[in-house]
Amino acid sequence: MENSIRVLRAERGWSQATLADHLGVSRQSVNAIETGKYDPSLPLAFAIARIFEKSIEDIFSDQTLTKAAE
Amino acid sequence: MTQHTFKSARKRYQRVFWPLMGVYVVAVLGGSYYLSTLEVEPTWLKTVIAIAVTLPIVAALFAMLRYFDETDEYSRLFQLRSFATGAVITISAIFAVGFLQIFEVIGSVDVFWFGPLFFVCYGLAHRLTGGRDC
């Protein structure tokens, strides 16, 4: 699953550690989500969306579903 | 239920784990030294010391389980994978050594060493897969 967390984080000038502190997770978790190695649970995805004041769909996109819809 | 963050869970774990390891080292060294000073080592005393040495390890394992519950989801996945890798290697070694003994290929092996083997494998699996911060 792709996401725009790295971009949103950069816009705010936050490091991975800063975002991790906001979310209450490890810096490695943020890195794994950003690089697509790990897909967050629904509660964590909601927490990420809340912090960036966006909807989940604005941040996460499933390329497989998008391609299937096209 | 209290909501723990990754940092608070890790702090809580380390606050319990390291003192327990201190107790373990003192119990091992103190117990061994005390037994070595006795001319006759009573079985009941050796039993008490063996259990006293084991208790901090058991408590540390429960502290690890609590940490797995309280840490964040990715760290939990990471820790459980490393833990499972350690368990797979150790259980495989137990079966291999067990059958080698049954077929009388090797003599007796101290069961004790499978415990450290598990922790070494768990630690290595954790390090080698990049779990430095988890």
User: With contacts defined as CB-CB under 8 Å, which chain A residues touch B4?
Assistant: 24
Q: How many domains does chain A have?
A: 1
**Local structure of A40: helix, strand or coil:** coil
pLDDT at B29 over 90: yes
Residue A63 vs residues A28, A29, A31, A59: alpha-carbon distances, Å? 24, 22, 20, 13
Q: How far B68 CA sits from the closest chain A CA (Å)?
A: 13
Mean pLDDT of chain B: 93
Cα(B6)–Cα(B70) distance, integer angstroms: 7
Interface of A with B in 15-54 (CB under 8 A): 20-21, 23-29, 32-33, 38, 40-41, 44
The ipTM (two decimal places) reads 0.82
Give the torsion through C-alpha atoms of B78, A31, B133, B67, to 10 deg: -50
Q: How far A29 CA sits from the closest chain B CA (Å)?
A: 6
> In 3-state terms, chain A is what percent helix, strand and coil (to 5)?
65, 5, 30
In this predicted model, what pLDDT tens digit does every residue of A12-54 receive, in sequence order? 999 999 999 999 999 999 999 999 999 999 999 999 999 999 9
Q: What is the CATH number of the domain that holds A27?
A: 1.10.260.40
